[in-house]
Amino acid sequence: MTDLRDVTLRDGLQLTGKPLPTARKVAVVRELLDAGVPSVEIGSMARPDLVPPLADTLDLIRALDPDELARCWVWVATPRHVERAAEAGAVNFQYCLSASDAHNRANIGRSTEDSLAAMPRAVAAASAAGGRIQLCIATSFTCPFEGAVPEERVLAIARDPRAEGARDIVLCDTLGQAVPTQVTSLVARVAAEMPPRRIVYHGHDTWGLGVANTLAALAAGASEVDGALGGLGGCPFAPGASGNASTEDLLFALRPSWLTPSSFARIVRLSGALLDELGEPNRSRAAQGARTSATAFPWALGAEVSCR
């Protein structure tokens, strides 16, 4: 079974020029969950002055009920991040560090080694809150400052005993520069050589291979994938990174058991309205295809779908 996590409200909003009100974020979370999306990443504990669109993450957590929060994830990078998010009600934490030291310093303000050294305390904080934590490895394939990242570097982080306690491992093509053969190789090695964990693949579509790389990751052993509505997204600390693999494109390609033409239409309409509000282009090819008037195709929505 393949799970999809929508990361629009975290990775997707990082580079947007317009802020999204907290109440609107709550409505988006509920619409995605009600449509059947298994889980949603709702925000980040990064410094508000560095990532202003995510400054209201704690308010968003507080606005959701426990059943909703059980399906929501929060980006964290320190033990204190975990503690503060848990105090607000969060139970799922994505502890992120970078395989490349230069990106870790740009993104988090410390070395990769320092981030790894702090992880046992983050794991303990998540456990004390009755929650679960993932190890998220950014720049698993390439770094904007150091170039290609050796597989052995990623594997060394994944097998580091200080990362024990992480339920899942997230492999990130932060810049969207990987190709399917690279994704296949790394995911397969993590699946074969590391302690048993769920593998999550987080891809960007910078070079047009977001869906192809995601399919390669699933074939190699990943069981969950990330996407953002309309291909929104990017990293403010990774020059050259563009949007995430599109949630709509991934859903149309994967056809998970919960997805129906009706729920797909609902998600496409939500995406179109949200991107219009933000003044952002819709990069989803599936959302564009859904505008066809060829109504004999069950996945077609008709020309009324907003898709910029």
Per-residue pLDDT of 246-303, as tens digits, reads: 999 999 999 999 999 999 999 999 999 999 999 999 999 999 999 877 778 889 886 4
Rounded to the nearest integer, the mean pLDDT of the chain is 93
Amino acid at 246: S
Give the residue-averaged pLDDT of 133-137: 98
- Sequence-ordered list of residues with C-beta below 8 angstroms from that of 128, at least 6 positions apart, any chain: 86
What is the Cα–Cα distance from 195 to 192, expressed in whole angstroms?
A: 8
Q: Who wins on pLDDT, 194 or 122?
A: 122
Domain spanning 3-258: CATH superfamily: Aldolase class I (3.20.20.70)
Exposed/middle/buried for residue 181 (C-beta within 10 Å: 0-12, 13-18, 19+): exposed
What is the Cα–Cα distance from 253 to 172, expressed in whole angstroms?
A: 20
Share of the chain above pLDDT 90, in %: 85
Give the residue-averaged pLDDT of 151-166: 96
pLDDT at 304 > cutoff 50:
no
Distances in Å between the alpha carbon of 104 and those of 24, 93, 113, 114?
31, 18, 9, 10
pLDDT of residue 307: 40
The lowest-confidence range among 8-22, 45-59, 225-239 is 225-239
pLDDT at 92 > cutoff 80:
yes
- Report residue 255: phi and psi, to 5°: 50, 60
Tokens standing for residue 66:
């426990």
pLDDT of residue 31: 98
Count how many Cα atoms sit within 13 Å of the Cα of residue 244 in the half-sphere of its side chain: 29
pLDDT of residue 243: 87
Domain ranges of the chain: 3-258
pLDDT of residue 303: 40
pLDDT of residue 116: 97
- Sequence-ordered list of residues with C-beta below 8 angstroms from that of 260, at least 6 positions apart, any chain: none
pLDDT of residue 241: 64
- Sequence-ordered list of residues with C-beta below 8 angstroms from that of 122, at least 6 positions apart, any chain: 76, 78, 79, 81, 82, 93, 95, 133
pTM of the model: 0.94
What is the Cα–Cα distance from 128 to 264, expressed in whole angstroms?
A: 38
Active site residues: 235
pLDDT at 305 > cutoff 60:
no
Torsion sign (Cα): 191, 255, 61, 280: positive
pLDDT at 236 > cutoff 80:
no
pLDDT at 115 > cutoff 50:
yes
Confidence of residue 50 (pLDDT cuts 50, 70, 90): confident
Closest of 59, 56, 103 to residue 77, by C-alpha: 103
Closest of 228, 229, 214 to residue 273, by C-alpha: 229
Asked whether the beta carbons of 96 and 45 are under 8 A apart, the reply is no
pLDDT of residue 296: 83
